Amino acid sequence: CHREFGECRAMLAGAGLLLEAFELLESSAARLGLDPGEREETVASVAAAVGGGGVVGGQVVDLESEKKQVDGRTLEYIHSHKTGALIRVSCTLGARLARADRRTLEALAAYGEKIGYAFQIVDDLLDELGDSRDLGKEVGMDKARGKATFPAVYGVSESRRLAALAVEGAKEALAGSALEKDPVLAGIAGFILARQA
């Protein structure tokens, strides 16, 4: 979008879609007959995941960290906020609206957090090692921009181990919940680790 239409238009498209998301959330909440408390919690959980305490906050720290030596803790902050928060809320929002029990919601939140973490490690690895034809985007961009990445901080093989561990953890998080044997959730977790593109 930013290459085809320019950065300004791309940013405006993002702002426009953000607003449509909240309109949609609001009209869906009305259709689902949520009570005021559920409604507020739903909107607040999405806004928190995207805003200064979520995606926006992670992106700011990511920018601050460019061309600097970054430790594992900062890296974790960036990724748990930049991608983790939105993946986590995406995993729980439907269940919350369907009035899932507390145990299921907690399982989904832990699952979402761990697949989000794995997703980001794999994304960093693919940028470092992947094939730009498979990925459909240029590789090596993180290094060129001096970005904080998992391979830069932990090395390639330790990053692979951390991603596999997170995916195992995601599957374990579902154990004992109603979703323990859910093939789609297990499949998504496995796919995140295996993807080459």
Closer by beta carbon to a copy of itself, 63 or else 178: 63
Instruction: Show the binding pattern over residues 38-77: x = contacts a copy of itself (CB under 8 A), - = does not.
Output: -xx--xx--xx-xxx---xx-xx--x--------------
Query: Is the CB of 29 or the CB of 75 nearer to a copy of itself?
Result: 29
List the one residue from 2, 9, 137, 145 that touches a copy of itself (CB under 8 A): 9
Applying CB under 8 A, what is the total number of residues that bind a copy of itself? Answer: 34
Quote the distance between the C-alpha of residue 74 and its chain's center: 16
**Residue that is written with structure tokens 């044997």 in the block:** 181
Q: Which CB atom, from 2 or from 161, has the smaller least distance to a copy of itself? A: 2
95 CB contacts (<8 Å, ≥6 apart)? 104, 105, 108
Our CB check for a copy of itself shows the closer of 27 and 69 to be 27
Conformation bin of residue 6: beta by default, left when phi > 0, alpha when psi is -120 to 50: left
| Other CB atoms within 10 A of residue 85 CB | 26
Q: Does 14 bind a copy of itself (CB under 8 A)?
A: yes
* Residue 141 near a copy of itself by CB under 8 A: no
Q: State the DSSP H helix or E strand holding residue 140, giving kind and residue range, or none if neither.
A: none
CA distance 142 to 151: 10
* Alpha carbon distances (Å) from 170 to 29, 38, 58, 88, 192: 29, 26, 22, 11, 11
Is 36 a binder of a copy of itself (CB under 8 A)? yes
Residues in the site for a copy of itself, rule: CB under 8 A? Answer: 6, 8-9, 11-12, 14-16, 18-20, 22-23, 26-27, 29-30, 33, 36-37, 39-40, 43-44, 47-48, 50-52, 56-57, 59-60, 63
